[in-house]
Chains A and B, each alone.
Chain A
């Protein structure tokens, strides 16, 4: 496969609320990924940073910030902002540079120190910013959108609060086995039910927290990998970064309304479905080939939606898949073996990179007591605010 690049190294800083700078998390993750790859920072020909945003300023220019902290060495540098898809776009950029012959080996880094409580837009009056508008005009936080999606699934597919709770139970049990996760404790359905409602019908334990964290990858061309003695490394085979198609008829963060379908019939697939399909097509695999998937479980109900969007089952059948154990360890297609956002929380620019770290460890057979036996193909999928798609297919 000419589109493949090798994952030589993966590293993370543990997620949590550590109260330190995002630079520290990113550098810790980067050094871990370099050590994992058996490479020195001086060997790196390009660094790609996934940006965070503070005060309307993207990440203090994250690629160069990480490069400075690691020690200026004249490397090619790129900074990428795509909201929650920033990490995937950083990986896509690194891959494109490798495939174009611009670099043999690239360091990809994402890290964040999340604000306390709800995510919110930067200050000032900015009525041309849809993210500012939804807060100012409606007070519509991220969890309220998750609540809308959850309530819609209950009405259309018959999902129940108990089903949602079981997603948390599954992911918390896995997160308890992951040293990088913020929450490392099993959770019961009763605890989910007893937690406070945040946005009807979702409770505190249905919704992911905000966290600090960092993740990094060392990617290389296959020739470099072979010369480096890593010819059998995990490979990234596809990175999907597609936008929605007009009209986007599913209400999306941060929008106040959908596109109108008066003039153009909606595509047969939703935006999230198209993100997955683009990755499958580029990788030449289908949902039946997956050994595991890491999905963006901003809420328990949203994880169920992803089962359908990934084609793991038909529309409305996600709960059946959950209930019969298909998406748990030992099932046909385990989902979020890392513990997911339920266990990590959101560290926005790091999360998509962290998902690929988990794919890498699983495909190497190095995921310890959360290992999915015989894992050969993994997908990580995510959706970034403002229409940024993000999916990665990795193979062994």
Chain B
């Protein structure tokens, strides 16, 4: 579904973006055709792992079941999840992601340090859809 957006596991898990060889701009989700910097003469776009850690730019949660194409089991009661927008200092961009299970808005403040971890978006009998999640560093959740 989102091939090539992340790689590795455990401590080695990383989001994957691309970086322009001419202007160094980083793209996430990955941009594989043309550099989108209008001042750039155009370079090659090379895969680049993003920083593991960043700081919370903002956060919210989803108290109602989102519509499709989000996949949920309608037989089960809805459990809200948290969304975190994270500033990555080295790449100078903000990446949105779901929080790791158990992290609620009460665990967060703007500026909190978080790290990227592998997670499960949804699974059914045949398929497990993996994703990235943000988790506060040093937190016991």
What is the interface of chain A, defined by CB distance below 8 A to chain B? 117-118, 120-121, 123, 125, 127, 132-141, 144, 147-152, 155-156, 196-202, 246-247, 249, 251, 255-264
Contacts and interface: CB of A to CB of B under 8 A. Distances in A.
Contact of A199 (B63, B85, B109): B63
B94 A144 contact: no
Given A147-B61, A259-B93, A261-B92, A152 B110 contact: yes
Contacts of A264: 23, 25, 37, 39
Contacts of A140: 62, 66, 83, 96
A152 B57 contact: yes
B114 to A, nearest CB: 14
A144 B91 contact: no
24 contacts: A120-B67, A135-B68, A135-B70, A136-B69, A138-B83, A139-B66, A140-B83, A141-B64, A144-B83, A147-B83, A151-B60, A199-B61, A199-B63, A247-B25, A247-B93, A249-B94, A251-B94, A256-B96, A258-B94, A260-B26, A260-B28, A260-B92, A262-B26, A263-B23
Interface residues of B, number: 47
B29 interface: yes
A148 B36 contact: no
Contacts of A152: 57-58, 110
A246 B38 contact: yes
A261 B23 CA distance: 11
Contacts of A133: 2, 29
Contact of A156 (B60, B66, B105, B110): B110
Contact of B96 (A196, A246, A251, A259): A251
B62 A137 contact: no
A199 B109 CA distance: 16
B58 A198 contact: no
B25 A260 contact: yes
Contacts of B109: 155
Contact of B1 (A136, A149, A196): A136
Contacts of A258: 93-94
B103 interface: no
A263 B60 contact: no
Contact of B105 (A138, A200, A259): A200
A200 B109 CA distance: 12
B95 A138 contact: no
Contacts of B2: 127, 133, 137
Interface string B28-72: 110000001111100000000000000001111111101111111
A118 B57 CA distance: 25
Given A148-B58, A246-B37, A257-B94, A139 B70 contact: yes
B67 A155 contact: no
A151 B24 contact: no
Interface in B74-103: 81, 83, 85, 91-98
Contacts of A149: 58
A255 B97 CA distance: 11
B29 A257 contact: yes
Interface in B95-131: 95-98, 105, 109-111, 121, 131
Contacts of A141: 62, 64, 66-67
Given A148-B59, A263-B39, 13 more contacts: A121-B69, A123-B68, A136-B1, A137-B2, A138-B96, A148-B57, A200-B63, A251-B96, A257-B28, A257-B96, A258-B93, A261-B93, A264-B23
A121 B23 CA distance: 34
Nearest to A154: B110
Contacts of B68: 120, 123, 135
Contact of B98 (A120, A138, A202, A262): A138
A247 B39 CA distance: 11
Contacts of A260: 25-28, 91-93
Contacts of A256: 28-29, 95-96
A249 B57 CA distance: 11
B25 A262 contact: yes
B1 A137 contact: yes
B69 A262 contact: no
